[in-house]
């Protein structure tokens, strides 16, 4: 999928429209047309990138499965899980199996050529062990563990993943997270929205993917070499409007569940992208 890089070279920002909806017990994110989200309250900025999604909607639909390990006795902190899910998406996108002639490359291309969907489910005990036996990559945070799998057809889930549910992903932070690490990318969440942990994990992954798309190959390599450091934080109310107008990548939701259509959920604030913004902003 080449259009984000072309837009970057043209000096345009990319606003990817994301929709979350329950699918077989998981949360998905995908694309909607700009016409469906225009004029929504609280989202009164215009994107210079207005793309009809007819071809994408008509293409075979794939989803990117993410499975979070959530044991009853020791669930991860919410922010830890969100950050780990975002890093898991980046790890898969940067894996050699997902590029060129790699074994996952065709599935990744098909997934990115249709609506961008992510489904988050939870596993514990034997469920987690069975999921770990399937081809994929496990990414760990402070205590969180998320396994990401190559994209699968919307109706073609492996049985050991299809049986997993999203219930049980209601996570909390035992204490408020501190300030984000200086110099590292931040995925800023809309402070005016309330979402389930599963939905937020998918949204964080989508925000990380938008940043990845807009970076140069050199910037991607540097981020990967550093281990994909990033923070997920809720923006301050006074900062949110400025962030959505800054020219940084923005995730917008289709509003199938939980929140209103057209809601901006995440701004992907990568230092390399912020540094490339016009000074007037």
Q: Is residue 39 part of a domain?
A: yes
Task: Read off the pLDDT of residues 65-77 as tens digits, 9 standing for 90 and up.
Answer: 999 999 999 999 9
Each residue's pLDDT tens digit, 180-239: 988 999 999 999 999 999 999 999 999 999 999 999 999 999 999 999 999 999 999 989
Q: Is residue 176 part of a domain?
A: no
Asked if pLDDT for residue 136 goes beyond 70, the answer is yes
Of the candidate ranges 7-11, 100-104, 273-277, the one whose mean pLDDT is the lowest: 7-11
Q: Give the number of domains in the chain.
A: 1
Distance of CA 279 to the CA centre of its chain: 28
Reduced to 3 states (helix: H, G, I; strand: E, B; else coil), residue 46 is coil
Backbone φ/ψ region at 25: left (φ over 0), alpha (ψ -120 to 50), beta: left
Does a structural domain hold residue 24? Answer: yes
Q: Is residue 280 part of a domain?
A: no
Nearest one of 214, 199, 176 to 49, comparing CA atoms? 214
Q: What is the pTM of this model?
A: 0.83
209: left (phi over 0), alpha (psi -120 to 50) or beta: alpha
Residue 61 banded pLDDT, cuts 50, 70, 90: confident
Please give the pLDDT value at position 164: 95
Per-residue pLDDT reduced to its tens digit, 147-174: 999 999 988 999 999 999 876 668 999 9
Name the residue range of residue 217's domain. Answer: 3-168+182-275
């Amino acid at each position: 999928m080449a259009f984000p890089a072309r837009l970057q070279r043209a000096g345009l920002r990319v606003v990817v429209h994301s929709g979350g909806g329950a699918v077989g017990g998981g949360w998905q994110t995908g694309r909607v047309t700009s016409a469906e989200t225009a004029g929504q309250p609280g989202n009164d900025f215009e994107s210079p990138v207005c793309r009809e999604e007819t071809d994408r909607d008509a293409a075979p639909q794939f989803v990117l499965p993410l499975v979070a390990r959530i044991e009853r006795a020791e669930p991860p902190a919410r922010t830890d899980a969100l950050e780990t899910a975002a890093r898991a998406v980046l790890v898969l996108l940067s894996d050699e199996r997902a590029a060129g002639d790699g074994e996952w490359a065709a599935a990744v291309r098909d997934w990115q050529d249709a609506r961008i969907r992510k489904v988050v489910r939870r596993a514990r005990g034997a469920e987690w062990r069975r999921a770990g036996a399937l081809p994929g990559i496990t990414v760990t945070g402070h205590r969180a563990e998320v396994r990401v799998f190559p994209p699968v057809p919307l109706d073609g889930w492996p049985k050991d993943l299809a049986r997993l549910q999203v219930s049980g992903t209601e996570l909390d932070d035992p204490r408020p997270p501190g300030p984000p690490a200086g110099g590292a990318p931040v995925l800023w969440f809309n402070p005016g929205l309330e979402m389930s942990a599963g939905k937020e994990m998918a949204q964080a992954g989508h925000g990380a993917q938008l940043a990845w798309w807009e970076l140069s190959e050199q910037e991607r390599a540097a981020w990967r070499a550093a281990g994909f450091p990033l923070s997920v934080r809720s923006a301050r109310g006074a900062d949110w409007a400025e962030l959505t107008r800054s020219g940084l990548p923005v995730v917008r939701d289709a509003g199938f569940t939980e929140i209103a259509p057209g809601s901006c959920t995440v701004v992907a604030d990568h230092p390399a992208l912020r540094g490339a913004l016009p000074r007037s902003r």
